[in-house]
């Protein structure tokens, strides 16, 4: 008898098969019996790791540090985006959001005289193109942010992902898993 809290045995912590009363085996969804009594997961149930480079939005609205805030706001309106990545030598140094502009407007009446570099903090969080989407989502969650500039190994801006992008992707992936389960479990 396993001790309390011990992980179950089997592939990825899942029992490959369960026994009905009387000792007959009951196949589990996503697990296919193989010759010799071994089992393997069906491909329909496997979720492959998704890398950031597969979902990154490469068309990023950017501004230099010395760009006047009025131009940044005009770019946001023209491009219909909620953020602009501030860059220096092709490397992101900050993100200006519609919210940060609104807060700055409330606290700084002479905002028209400010530049993009005045509104960014030194605490920029980025992700790399090789990172998994789940790791990027963890960054977003840990930092309490909705937008994440994506950089390559040399720190150059490659794109941006947003919390909304990641949630839409995950919803789509979960929908695929749900469809597979429906096919394998006719009683659902």
Domain 52-168, what fold? Answer: CBS-domain (3.10.580)
Q: pTM, whole model, 2 decimals? A: 0.67
Q: Give the C-alpha separation, 65 to 113, whole Å.
A: 13
Q: Are the C-beta atoms of residues 39 and 33 closer than 8 Å to each other?
A: yes
Per-residue model confidence as pLDDT tens for the chain (188 residues):
444 444 433 333 333 333 334 444 444 444 444 444 444 444 545 556 788 888 888 899 999 999 999 999 999 999 999 999 999 999 999 999 998 888 888 887 788 789 999 988 768 999 998 899 889 989 999 999 999 999 999 999 999 999 888 888 888 878 888 888 888 887 75
User: Any idea how long the chain is?
Assistant: 188
- Residue boundaries of the structural domains of the chain: 52-168
Q: Give the C-alpha separation, 155 to 124, whole Å.
A: 12
Tokens of 60: 């990023």
């Amino acid at each position: 008898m396993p001790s309390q809290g011990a992980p179950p045995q089997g592939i990825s912590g899942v029992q490959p098969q369960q026994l009905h009363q009387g000792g007959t085996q009951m196949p589990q969804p996503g697990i296919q019996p193989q010759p010799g009594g071994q089992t393997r997961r069906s491909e329909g149930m496997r979720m492959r790791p998704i890398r950031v480079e597969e979902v990154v939005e490469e068309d990023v609205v950017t501004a230099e540090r010395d760009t006047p805030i009025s131009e940044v706001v005009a770019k946001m309106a023209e491009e219909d985006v909620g953020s602009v990545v501030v860059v220096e030598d092709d490397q992101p140094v900050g993100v200006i959001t519609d919210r940060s502009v609104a807060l700055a407007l409330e606290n700084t009446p002479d905002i028209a005289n400010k530049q993009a570099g005045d509104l960014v903090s030194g605490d920029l969080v980025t992700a790399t193109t090789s990172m998994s989407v789940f790791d990027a989502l963890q960054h977003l969650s840990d930092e309490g942010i909705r937008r994440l500039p994506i950089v390559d190994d040399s720190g150059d801006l490659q794109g941006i992902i947003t919390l909304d992008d990641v949630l839409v992707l995950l919803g789509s992936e979960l929908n695929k898993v749900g469809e597979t389960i429906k096919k394998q479990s006719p009683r659902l």
